Amino acid sequence: MTAATRLYDAEVVKDIRKKKKVWQDKSSFAKKKRQHALHTLSGIPIKSLYTPADVSDLNYIQDIGFPGEEPYVRGVYPTMYRGRSWTIRQLAGFGPPEETNKRYKFLLKEGATGINGVFDYPTLRGYDSTDPIASADAGRGGVAIDTLADMQILFDDIPIEKISTSLVTCQPICNIIVQSMYFTNAQLRGIPLQKLTGTSQNDFLMETVITIAPEVLPPRVSFKLSCDAIEFCTKYVPRWNPVSFSGYNYRESGCTAIQEVAFVISNAIACCEELIQRGFEIDRFAPRLSFFLSAHNDFFEEIAKYRAARRIWYRIMQERFAAKDPRSLRFRFHVQTAGVALTAQQPLNNIARAAYHGLAAVLGGAQSVHIDAYDEALCTPTEQSALTALRTNQILQLETGVTHTIDPLGGSYFIETLTNQLEQKISNTLDKIEEMGGIVEAVKTGWIHQKISNAAYEYQQAVESGKMSVVGLNCHQVKEEKLPMALFEVPETLRIQEEKLKQIKKKRNSTQAQHALDAIARCCEENGNLMEVITDSVKACITEGEISRRLKDSYGTWNAPLF
Amino acid sequence: MKKRIRVIIARLGMDAHWRGSIMVARALRDSGMEVIYLGNQLPENIVETAIQEDADVVGLSTLSGNHMMLAPEVVKRLKEKGAEEKVVIIGGTIPPDDIPKLKSEGIDEVFGPGTPFGNIIKYIAASF
């Protein structure tokens, strides 16, 4: 590197190194022996002090640059939060759609700026509420959706032509059906698909690794469904983000920050290759690929993680895929604060935890943020806890001043060093996955499952040994704790869904319904784009369970190598 | 030689979270127990497998909130099959108020969020 492009003059750096050594030798603080070395949560050793000597090789223009410009380390937009603050997108969903519709309206009235809709366990796995294996979970963990009619109820009186909706349709088998219902509902309301804005989760790792259901589709098929939805949106719903690679959930299952980013990016690489294979130019679909990451306990590592992810994504899109459109080069992401870091013990402490997590997300330049409610280690959030979480997000945005300047930690010797180290380690993991033949192969062999499970086990052992402190859990406990608040109870769901399903099956034209299901089976045989067929088929009032049964009959199911 | 304690671990119903159940399964295995991991199951299959595999302990895991609907069903079916000697334990996000209810339905022990592995291992070992 030439002297002109270096951040610091070589002589100055030499002098800093020398003086740091002197400081270290005389400082009693630095000499103190620690019981164990300090590391970030993902295992990177941390020094007691960072100086310009740690970042002396950085080339500012090439490695850091300006917001909205290559390599996007400082942020994906030139104005960042000065231009437009992050979207406050609080997750909500429980019970039948009638109840969740009320919660959406409540959050919007209180100042949420987008909808973030989560679906119950049966819906996410492609089961009707009344299926014997699913019925005990109807309305739990999210809202129950069985048919197009439920989708109409869910968004009744909500201006979906104006506000953006995130559909937390994690599994492609759920996404291809539920997103089809969302689109069909919009069309029936007279809203053209081109006007819709929002995001679907649609991540095949969610189906095959993270939240495995009984009778899961094989990885290759789940991946195909995910790409079918991306292709459909690329053609017909240009303002929709058809996938949100869900590192958040990988992290909740136990992986490290390094694996979280490596796995989402290798997933995105696979989708790019598939779409190119299907005849699309990279810049036609890449601008709409989006990401979903966690904000966990290690404050600085999380901030550096977001910055490193932006640089890696930019380099891959430019070098490997030769993307030209700047929008293809931008790593845009939503953050949810880490649910797994919350405790059931002394639950009000979680308000403080989640606020720190949220702060890391915005110091890292997130496009939208959900802050967890304090009762999430115990139940679905109550109205009270959901409101406190929303207010925490608003306090961060309106009171702390963090929106006033872009990437305020950029240039910190520590943050820039960590950004470089994380980038290196993430790239190494990406290379390993590449050697295995890509992410779909790495899932098939169980390698990804193993990596996540191992990291989760190490994490748990660190908590149990006390090496990692968790306030209220392994230190500062309260004996005979009394729960300081009421817990949420899921409203009656099964009976309501059962009744609606009965009515719909009675009223619908059974020949039409049969034809719709046959069309789906035929599309599987012909290897066509399933989303094109399903958006049309849901009008015949067929249920999610009926559609997913056709898909499983056609493609077979898979036993995940989990244990 | 003393027979190794045999444990089956299942996730109840549609519950999506495997982290807790897999972690406990690994910890029990590392402590010398024999562990059979079933994944998502309904009470009927759990009981059938527990009997076929001659398990000493039935470990249930759920974070979805379905525990009051499904866990007592496991105990009931074990009784019907004359297998009530098996120890039935459950772990997950169980609200404190539900713990006495589960115990009165015949669940032997409930382990909430944050339970150290050691407590579970000790409890099982003390049962035999």
Give the C-alpha separation, A3 to A7, whole Å: 9
Q: Tokens 């989006």, residue?
A: A290
Report whether pLDDT(A372) > 90. Answer: yes
| A468–B contact, CB cutoff 8 A | no
Q: Which residues of B touch A140 (CB under 8 A)?
A: 64-66
Which pLDDT tens digit goes with each residue over A274-306?
Answer: 999 999 999 999 999 999 999 999 999 999 999
Say how far residue A302 (Cα) sits from the centre of its chain: 14
Q: Residue A456 and residue B20: Cα distance in Å, rounded?
A: 9
Per-residue model confidence (pLDDT) at position A33: 57
Set of chain B residues whose Cβ sits within 8 Å of the Cβ of A460: 23, 27, 117
Q: Are strands A289-295 and A243-246 parallel, antiparallel or unpaired?
A: parallel
Rounded distance between C-alpha atoms, residue A260 and residue A497, angstroms: 36
How much of chain A, in percent, has pLDDT values that exceed 70? Answer: 97
Q: How far apart are CA A157 and CA A171, in angstroms?
A: 27
- Inspect the interface and report whether the beta carbons of A483 and B96 lie closer than 8 Å: yes
- Give how far Cα A171 sits from Cα of A36, A213, A226, A496, Å: 41, 10, 8, 25
Q: Is the pLDDT of residue A508 over 60?
A: yes
Cβ contact (<8 Å) for B114 and A470?
A: yes
Nearest-neighbour CA in chain B from A432: distance (Å): 24
pLDDT band at B116 (very low <50, low <70, confident <90, very high): very high
- Amino acid B34: pLDDT: 97
- Asked if residue A36 has pLDDT above 80, the reply is no
Query: What per-residue confidence (pLDDT) applies to A29?
Result: 60
What is the per-residue pLDDT for A242? 98
Question: What is the reported pLDDT for A498?
Answer: 98
Chain centre distance of CA A212: 17
Q: Taking CB atoms and an 8 Å cut-off, how many pairs form between chains A and B? A: 98
pTM of the model: 0.95
What CA–CA distance (Å, rounded) separates A108 from A352?
Answer: 24
Predicted pLDDT at A427? 98
Contact across the interface for B16 and A121, Cβ inside 8 Å: yes
Contacts of A344 in chain B (CB under 8 A): 93, 112-114
Scanning A237-367, the segments in alpha helix (DSSP H) are 247-253, 257-277, 282-285, 299-315, 326-329, 349-363
Give B 21-40 residues with CB within 8 A of chain A.
22-23, 25-27, 37, 39-40
Over the stretch A48-66, which tens digit does the pLDDT of each residue have? 999 999 999 999 999 999 9
> Looking at CA atoms only, how far is residue B89 from chain A in angstroms?
19
Handedness of CA A225, A230, A236, A237 (dihedral sign): positive
CB contact under 8 Å between B18 and A253, yes or no, is yes
Compute the nearest-CA separation of A490 from chain B (Å): 9
The predicted structure's pLDDT at residue B2: 66
pLDDT at A30 over 60: no
Whether residue B96 lies within 8 A of chain A, CB to CB, comes out as yes
Q: Which two tokens stand for residue A327?
A: 């929008």
User: Residue A124's pLDDT band (boundaries 50, 70, 90)?
Assistant: very high
So what's the pLDDT on residue A380?
85
Closest CA to A41 of A413, A343, A302: A302
pLDDT digits (tens, 9 = 90+) for A208-226: 999 888 889 999 999 999 9
The single-letter code of the amino acid at A457 is Y
Distance from CA of A62 to the nearest CA of B (A): 41
For residues A245 and A202, the answer to whether their CB atoms sit within 8 Å is no
| CATH topology assigned to domain B6-126 | Rossmann fold (3.40.50)
- Across the interface, do A133 and B37 touch by the CB < 8 Å criterion? no
Give the closest of A457, A464, A562 to B39, CB-based: A562
Question: Does B112 contact A at CB distance below 8 Å?
Answer: yes
Nearest chain A residue (CA) to B21: A563
Is the CB of residue A493 less than 8 Å away from at least one CB of chain B?
A: no
Give the range among A32-41, A217-226, B104-113 with minimum mean pLDDT.
A32-41
Output the CA angle A222-A227-A231, nearest 5 degrees. 150
Coil/strand/helix, residue A533: helix
- If one looks up domain A53-75+243-476 in CATH, what number appears? 3.20.20.240
pLDDT interval class at A345 (50, 70, 90): very high
pLDDT at A13 over 90: yes
Distance of CA A518 to the CA centre of its chain: 34
pLDDT value of position B3: 83
**Considering only A15-24, A177-186, A228-237, A540-549, which range has the smallest mean pLDDT?**
A15-24
Using one digit for the tens of pLDDT, what is the confidence trace for A440-473? 999 999 999 999 999 999 999 999 999 999 999 9
Please tell me which residue of chain B has the smallest CA distance to A480: B96
What is the radius of gyration, based on Cα positions, of chain B? 13
Look at B95 and A487 and tell me if their CB atoms are within 8 Å. yes
Residues in chain A within 8 Å Cβ distance of B70: 136
Which residues from B are below 8 Å from A136, CB to CB?
Answer: 12-14, 66, 69-70
CB contact under 8 A, A133 and B95: no
Q: Name the token pair of A461.
A: 């052992």
| Chain B interface includes A196 (CB < 8 A) | no
Q: What pLDDT is stored for residue A112 in this prediction?
A: 87
For an interface test with A, give the residue of B9, B11, B18 to mutate (most A CBs within 10 A): B18
Rounded to an integer, what distance in angstroms lies between the CA atom of residue A533 and that of residue A37?
57
Q: Does A24 touch chain B (CB under 8 A)?
A: no
Q: With an 8 Å Cβ cutoff, is B100 touching chain A?
A: no
> Tell me, what's the pLDDT at B41?
92
Summarize pLDDT for A431-441 with one digit per residue, the tens.
999 999 999 99
- The single-letter code of the amino acid at A224 is K
How far away is chain B from the Cα of A118, in angstroms, using its nearest Cα?
A: 13
pLDDT value at position A34? 52
Each as own residue / partner, the long-range contacts of residues B24-29 (CB below 8 Å, 24 or more positions apart, any chain) are B24/B59, B24/B61, B24/B91, B24/B117, B24/B120, B25/A563, B25/B59, B26/A453, B26/A457, B27/A460, B27/B117, B27/B120, B27/B121, B28/B59, B28/B120, B28/B121, B28/B124
Under the banding of pLDDT at 50, 70 and 90, the label for residue A2 is low
**Which single residue is written with the structure tokens 């895929």?**
A321
For A160-177, what is each residue's pLDDT tens digit? 999 999 999 999 999 999
Chain A residues with beta carbon closer than 8 angstroms to that of B19: 252-254, 340, 456
As a whole number, mean pLDDT of residues A133-140 equals 95
Highest mean pLDDT among A35-44, A95-104, A208-217: A95-104
Q: In chain A, what residues touch B40 (CB-CB under 8 Å)?
A: 133, 212-214
With CA atoms as reference, report the closest residue to A211 among A114, A285, A137, A279.
A137
Per-residue pLDDT tens digits for B10-28: 999 999 899 999 999 999 9
Q: Nearest CA to CA, how far is A213 from chain B (Å)?
A: 7
- Matching residue, tokens 């640059």: A65
Q: Which of A403, A341, A409, A353 is nearest to A377 (CA)?
A: A341
Q: What is the mean pLDDT of residues A399-425?
A: 98
Please tell me the distance in Å from A472's CA to the nearest CA on chain B: 10
Q: Name the superfamily (CATH) of residues A85-241+494-563.
A: Methylmalonyl-CoA mutase (3.20.20.240)
B17 touches chain A (CB under 8 A): yes
Query: Residue A152 belongs to what H/E stretch?
Result: helix A148-154
Whether the pLDDT of residue A3 is over 80: the answer is: no
pLDDT greater than 70 at residue A515: yes
Residues of B with Cβ-Cβ distance to A449 under 8 angstroms: none
A53-75+243-476 shares its CATH topology with A85-241+494-563: yes
A487–chain B Cβ distance below 8 A for any pair:
yes
Q: Kindly report the average pLDDT of chain A as a whole number.
A: 95
* CA separation for the pair A193, A152 (Å, rounded): 16
Share of chain A above pLDDT 90, in %: 88
Signed CA dihedral, A359, A362, A364, A369: sign only = positive
Closest residue in A to B39 (Cα) is: A214
Stretch A191-212: mean pLDDT? 96
